[in-house]
Amino acid sequence: MIALGFEGSVNKIGVRVVTLDGTILSNPCHTYITPPGHGFLPREIAHHHLQHGPDIGAPLQVSAVIVLIISQLWKKPIVDVNHCVAHIEMGRIVMGANDPVVLYVSGGNTQVIAYSEGRYHIFDDPMHSAVSMKIGK
């Protein structure tokens, strides 16, 4: 099986083609990097999210619309992927790890996660994580 994956965020767009065994056939990706002191500043984002909630839906919709169009044109199913799990799975494949314990840090989302007996277990609540609290300051 070959999968076509799309990633879109506020500053990144990527399209990946991979096989079931993790062989990467194509991996074009572009990240927009702002000059220092500009763009999405963590403290400003945190303040905005506390007052208004996350408001980055529009950039995420770009990838979603592309995926919907390609799915309809090629008559292929769309498979939902948990972003956090996708990162861990990539690491498992690349590193050949069977049952990893992972410190997952992505923006404001910080968790200690372990893979055992075919499933993921979250050992650290991100709202109470010392790591999260330190990163957030």
Strand order in the sheet with 119-122: 101-106, 109-116, 119-122
- pLDDT at 103 > cutoff 80: yes
Domain residue extents for the chain: 2-81, 85-136
CA distance 123 to 111: 7
Instruction: Tell me the CATH architecture of domain 2-81.
Output: 2-Layer Sandwich (3.30)
Residue 57: Cβ within 10 Å count: 8
Helices of type H across 3-129: 42-52, 57-74, 83-95
- Give the global pTM: 0.62
Q: What is the pLDDT of residues 48-76, one digit of tens each?
A: 666 665 556 777 788 889 999 999 999 99
Torsion over CA: 93, 99, 101, 106 (sign): positive
**25 vs 53, which has greater pLDDT?**
25
